[in-house]
Amino acid sequence: MTNAMRAINSVCGVLVLGASALALPCGSTLGDPLPDIPQCAITVTLQSITSALESPPQTPTDIVAVPDGSGRLFVATIQGIVLVLYPDGTISELVDTTNPNTLIDPARYGMISVEVHPGFTDPESPGFGKVYTLTTEAGGSGVADFGGFGFPHQDVIHEWMIDGSDPNVVDPSTQREILRIGQKNGDHNVSDMVFLDDQTMLIAVGDGRNTPAGQPENGDGAQDISTIFGSVIRIDPVGVIGTLSANGEYSIPTDNPFYSVPGAVREIYAYGFRSPYRMNRDPVSGQIFIGDVGQLTIEELTIIQPGGNHGWNVHEGSFLFDRDTYGVCTDPMPIPGLVEPIAEYDHDDGRSIVAGHTYRGAALPTLTGLHVFADFLGGPTSQFRGRLMITNPQVGGAYALPVSGMGDELPFFIYSVSVDEDGELLIAGNTVDGKGTILRVIAATSCLGDVTGAGGMPDGVVDVDDLNAILSAWGTMVPSGSRLDLANDDGVIDVDDLNVVLSNWAVTCP
């Protein structure tokens, strides 16, 4: 390990024991294959940037910065509406993607991704003003480019163009279907889109099904490059790079790893994925990070290797996957060439990984070069609380990233970890009672008493919102680390906590 690696890794104040140190004979599966992840020494704060998604409730699933210096964000919602979020916290509708065939189910279906073309602001680019959405439609809604006609639903990527007279709406007449994939079951769907430097697009495609132990495993497709399922594909949505696709709506780069392999899907860029969720590119290293949701045991974060076999369903994470029991064990005969995760954790620490971003902003210098990611819903004490995590891509290992006043289990589900145009981190989530929330990750402050505000999160000032929060919870028992338990973390909201608010009344936080 170099001194530079030690410097970055030591930020979290701990070292993680690698999975190889846990090797056991492969005579039985492992009930607890990994130790609990340690907590990072860094603490951050989450600051709500809008309350506009609470009423009517809208669930934000993905955020992309508009690269024009305006500070605007395009926000995908599970309800099928792309919103414009302005710097002042207000919103407007960019486009309603729904139609009579649209499927919406927060557990499985709905709009899950939005992207803008890298040439969005360049009038000379074929991608000028173009926005892309990933939505779900009923089976048979259209002719699928991949997958069977009788499949129960279809994942669809559309292209839209910004209206020439108003940059905050799209021209609905410009809607163009790029790709339609028939899905054989309800889960492990197409989950994300991301552009590369060369203006080609990567698309993450799940293996198509979660099956009970002992039944035929649809995950077999992830090891088969003659099928699109369980892969990451690479296309040019504007049709400039490579050769034209069969549907004539995009092109296939001729330098794709399997372009010239007989019988292979030419679009495939990498394979061996189960249920990939979120891909993001580090603008400095160029590395593409992807999360892959595990079966019963392991969640993993991996750097995509072009042409690489990323393991599923031979491995789950770095472990051998047992197809009979769906458990895992240490692989007694590791297969050469499998791409291993850089970070992994078992289901004691989370149940649905969300790949994030390698931090390159300016507000949180201690995070520079570290990859901040999340788990959608499963912390150590609850399956209904999201969790932020962090890793050093050069060294690996997963750490819990605690949030000031909350610990490392958060009172909402996390759909995505995104960044604004300045590279500052944003969290898109949804509370258990259905209220959407978008939060900015900022440095932890010593602003005692600021427990709530717009969106139910600290807003930078100690005021009547904080007073009402304490009074509403008066006398109740709360878990250790609750942001309401201000005075002494004694597990009860009482006069001591009220006095903290009153003694800091009207104090503002940076």
Q: What is the CATH number of the domain that holds 458?
A: 1.10.1330.10
Is 342:392 a contact under the CB 8 Å cutoff? no
Residue 64 lies in a domain: no
> Helix/strand/coil (H, E, C) string of 401-434?
CCECCCECCECCEEEEEEECCCCCEEEEEECCCC
Q: What are the strands of the beta sheet with 190-195, ordered from one edge?
A: 190-195, 201-205, 231-235, 268-271
The per-residue pLDDT for range 263-298, each reduced to its tens digit, is 999 999 999 999 999 999 999 999 999 999 999 999
* Residue with the larger pLDDT of the pair 466 and 31: 466
* Residue with the larger pLDDT of the pair 500 and 301: 301
Give the range with max mean pLDDT: 151-160, 443-452, 488-497: 151-160
Between CA 295 and CA 275 the distance in angstroms is: 9
* Residue with the larger pLDDT of the pair 28 and 432: 432
Give the pLDDT score at 15.
Answer: 28
* Residue with the larger pLDDT of the pair 126 and 406: 126
- pLDDT-derived band at 496 (thresholds 50, 70, 90) equals confident
Is 263:252 a contact under the CB 8 Å cutoff? no
Residue 59 lies in a domain: no
- Cα 350 from chain centre: 14
Residue 160 lies in a domain: no
Residue 34 lies in a domain: no
Average pLDDT over residues 30-58: 88
Give the range with max mean pLDDT: 97-111, 322-336, 447-461, 482-496: 97-111
Residue 359 lies in a domain: no
Residue 505 lies in a domain: yes
* Residue with the larger pLDDT of the pair 3 and 418: 418
- pLDDT-derived band at 24 (thresholds 50, 70, 90) equals very low
Number of domains in the chain: 1
Give the pLDDT score at 22.
Answer: 28
Residue 455 lies in a domain: yes
Enclosing domain of residue 454: 447-510
Separation in Å, CA 353 to CA 200, 305, 374, 389, 456: 25, 19, 6, 10, 24
The per-residue pLDDT for range 129-162, each reduced to its tens digit, is 999 999 999 999 999 999 876 788 999 999 999 9
Residue 36 has pLDDT above 90, yes or no: yes
Q: Is 69 exposed, middle or buried (0-12, 13-18, 19+ CB in 10 A)?
A: exposed
Residue 194 lies in a domain: no
